[in-house]
Amino acid sequence: MKDDTKKKRGLLACFIIIIGILILGVGGFFLYEGIPDNKLEVKRVTYMVHSGDTPELYIYVITPESVKYYDIYPTSSGQYDWFAGELPPEDEYTLEEYDISEQAWTNMENVLKRVNFMNLPEEIKGGDAFDGSSRYIQVETADGKHISGGYIAGDGIGPTNTRFKRAVEAIGLAINNN
């Protein structure tokens, strides 16, 4: 009789441990991926990288039809709202524009949904490095816009950095039409 009770308790303990592992596994997935926002309809994505060592900015404005790539090397003292489309004088940047494939746009949009980009914090603390780039992403939808990023954002450890890094990787693939 005691052996039956021990077996039942052992099986119950194993069952509880397995359920716990499954819950942590699924919970961990959503922690690192974010809870998907399948209703997100992206209209435009702006991705900005400030290289840090040189006074140069790389800005990509991505729509379902095209990618506009600005290589900006401002020498004027003006302060610009890059995300609002403000630019320095034309002699301080180059512009390249090209088409984006429907598949590249869809893939990027799906990743932004999967990482629940609109719920990322506005400022993300990256790793502990002292030399790197600042990266910011602005996603515009019919309901509004959200900016997220920071100094070496996506290079740190943890779910927020992982989600941001996945968004950056998806944008990189989209701007290269992959």
Per-residue pLDDT reduced to its tens digit, 92-101: 889 999 999 9
Domain containing residue 84:
42-175
CA pair distance 101, 64, nearest whole angstrom: 8
In a domain, 48, yes or no: yes
In a domain, 92, yes or no: yes
- Flag whether pLDDT at 34 surpasses 60: no
Q: Taking the CB of residue 155, how many other CB atoms lie within 10 A of it?
A: 18
In a domain, 10, yes or no: no
In a domain, 6, yes or no: no
Q: What is the pLDDT of residue 3?
A: 66
Identify which has the larger pLDDT, 61 or 84. Answer: 61
- Flag whether pLDDT at 28 surpasses 50: no
- Give mean pLDDT, residues 40-68: 89
Contacts of 150 (CB under 8 A, 6+ apart): 123, 124, 125, 126, 134, 135, 136
Q: What is the pLDDT of residue 81?
A: 82
Round the average pLDDT of the chain to a whole number and report it.
82
In a domain, 96, yes or no: yes
Q: Based on the structure, what is the number of domains in the chain?
A: 1
Q: What is the pLDDT of residue 145?
A: 94
